[in-house]
Chains A and B, each alone.
Chain A
């Protein structure tokens, strides 16, 4: 592309294993009742061709993180600080040693042609509620085909063929008839399959799946999760799986990022998170869910207190008012920095390092 100063894209060949790098991301909402600081310095890497889970209580900023990457935030939101780098793999046929282009997503205008070329084609997102995520006025075929026509330069008939193929891939029975159906004629599970088909329609590098199964019953949820796992392995894409269900994480993900109040507090692979959690918040989260198959009936421990509202700011570590390992004079004064405790296992807590985050 270019070496022009100020251009959001540069070409490098490093970081082949990372697809998105989010650094010190701050996202604020400017509302009538004040500034809601939804993200306060989110830093993490999204490994390529893996499934990364993002977990945390409601309101901790999981959806806002994904929407920030997609540049789909509402107009009331501003990103005063941070960096989101997309390591874009040029799609060339043979796949070997394709150059990687670095795109600084935050430098793109939210309405620009560049971001629209990325949305849907390279970064796709499926949303929480399958019931309201599809437009009631258009057929499934129209809504999926629309993205294909837009990004893959094909005509309507070819788009419909491809739509039928994808619907078949996501396990829709009778996909030929399905393209003519309207969303209200489909069950919740079928709609979520249609949404997944839409997300996959242009073969994106990253799929943000924002609690794609919370609205479904347990059986349907299991089917959809299986499907996503299979497709991920088959297509080799990256999935960012947002959920507050740790059971689902164990089933779906290769690694996990735990969020609390607009920050990532711990990130690691699945095993360390479940068997050797570091952050008191992660431990508390694990204690609050029942262990399937465990023999003894341990009392479930809900995390005490509630998530503070994001309009007020807390001095020190944001979790200290609810923390069992609270150290006065330390946790309520400074914010702990992110440190590596083990290979690929990072945590933000004064129990493991005294390092303070530089403001």
Chain B
């Protein structure tokens, strides 16, 4: 089957109807009378760092730098970002905030380039045969060229091309369903071959077997040009031009997929999940230029139209060209200008200044007169006529959304799928009560997003707090368990001793009982240490460690006073260690002595034994405390150390007393 017959055969391709939709007056013929014109080089170009969806680009030039046309001036700053290139040669004269095309009228950081008139290109890296390069390499080149979607949303193109999901269909969007805009129409008429070439590259990159080019039937010249270009192309058998009836908003990504394939992109998912990628025809040309010519994205086709212009037409506009520069080319009657809209009348936004620059997504400037875009009449009450629901392409109930938005009932808004609203404005367009419905939806979406972000944050801190509580509970539980185990062991030891006392007249029995008791208490049978001895041993090792630490602190210490204090501290500790060693050895002897004494005299635990125990425990606690303090000790902790020193002295004194008593 040759290309021609294939074309004819498939021109009967089934299309699916759009849900809802409206038919606003097209007003397209005004700007299609002239070919796409060039514009004299503007003196300055204002290049916002954020012209795409995502994070702003990062400047790689400084004020005063000379740049050539096509040279990188700001690089992509993350995954969802796009690079920016100098649209002409010249000097960077400022990096500052300027008003950007945005509904809010915000100023954002921009690179200001003063052109030198030479319009000199930097060196370009063209690719002769892209099929010899791996797709990943081409995606990298597309990313480096700073290409983002040129239909309106401005999503970085390279990202769309590297979803990692298998793609079977590339859909090229030549719909241009918004009234007034003719940029894509004229592009298809004049550069159909470049579009087809770009589509072929995109298809190769995606590995997509077919490409559907969707065009509304109100552009017969464009359709004819595209058909002719496709017939000549070597890729004709993989591409298909699909013409469908004009209706707004058929050009929405989801809507176009519905019309061409009958499938719906699942809510919250991407077309890639269906194996499809949608690209604007303008983006296809930008891709072709980036790969085949090596040119980054530095200009676009923009429609200049509106009744305040003498000769509405399309222009090749350098990115960053101020709106007034372009409008003057089209013969702006400033006195008649009442509203300047970036984009189309359905989804575009009005701006209040004429020096706002054209960006990568600026497909249209409408210089409208008062009569053309009259101020919206005062909204009246919603009469629930349901015209909005008939018009909604997403099958929402705009009237219900409106009620719930006014009531700020976010749950109901979510229940009515607010986030599936594509903000096409079809509902507001038909509303007989002139209610600015889309505004309500945007505001509600914003409020819900803010609320959700806040909730997520408080959720995170709540989780953190709960984790901490759980950790603390676990720690104290562990401590408690340890304490209990110790207490039990002590009790068992006591019981063993009592048994020994009972069995004092029978040494054999006593020995057996002792061994049993020791086993039960988990104490090593060979080295029979009494409770006091163990505590002494622990205390001893702690005191040693403490002494070592103090030594270390001393060696790191620079301040005289601290050194002095640490030295005396260390001396005290060493003394303590020595005493403890003594006590420990003495204690061992005493155990034997005590055992003997028990056997002979059978006295109960004496009062001063108890006292000694208490004192030992106190000393133990103090040592621990000092150790902890020393753990974190820095040189300037003099005051703390002083306190600790006093503690240690007290403790040592106490210990001395106790040990003397024992000896």
Q: Do A and B come from one complex?
A: no
